[in-house]
């Protein structure tokens, strides 16, 4: 199991605490220091069953600079979104937990984190 975190994020810290309480083995990836590649993003999106715009933090300053709110949210624009997330990892919603069984969740709630723990048990 791996969790992508920003240490400054309270939701990330809460998710890590829940993983610790559950006693599961996991790896922490500080995705701002070690950004995911476009290929890793495609893999995680497939595991999440989401599109890149679904995990994009459109309120970030860089999102406004790029004009993301105006970008089309359709299959033809998918690679453009993925490239933006890889180039600007601050845009990636967090925390993202990838489980060993191939599933993934955006762990913004305690329930989502607990779901990831139960799927890996």
Catalytic residues: 9
Please, is 67 exposed, middle or buried when counting C-beta atoms within 10 Å of its C-beta (0-12, 13-18, 19+)?
Answer: exposed
Close Cβ partners of 114 (under 8 Å, ≥ 6 residues apart): 18, 22
Question: Helices 38-48 and 78-87: crossing angle, nearest 10°?
Answer: 120
Q: What phi-psi label fits residue 23: left (phi over 0), alpha (psi between -120 and 50 degrees) or beta?
A: left
**Helix extents (H) in the chain:** 10-22, 38-48, 61-66, 78-87, 110-120
Query: How far, in Å, CA of 7 to CA of 18, rounded?
Result: 15
């Amino acid at each position: 199991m791996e969790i992508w975190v920003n240490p400054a994020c309270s939701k990330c810290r809460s998710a890590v605490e829940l993983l610790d309480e559950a006693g599961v083995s996991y790896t922490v990836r500080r995705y701002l220091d070690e950004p995911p590649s476009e290929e890793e993003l495609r893999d995680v999106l497939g595991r999440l069953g989401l599109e890149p715009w679904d995990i994009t933090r459109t309120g970030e300053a860089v999102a406004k600079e790029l004009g993301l709110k105006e970008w089309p949210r359709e299959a033809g624009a998918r690679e453009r979104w993925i490239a933006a997330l890889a180039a600007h990892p601050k845009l990636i919603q967090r925390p993202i937990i990838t489980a060993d069984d191939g599933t993934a969740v955006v762990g913004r709630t305690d329930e989502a984190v607990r779901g990831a723990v139960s799927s890996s048990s």
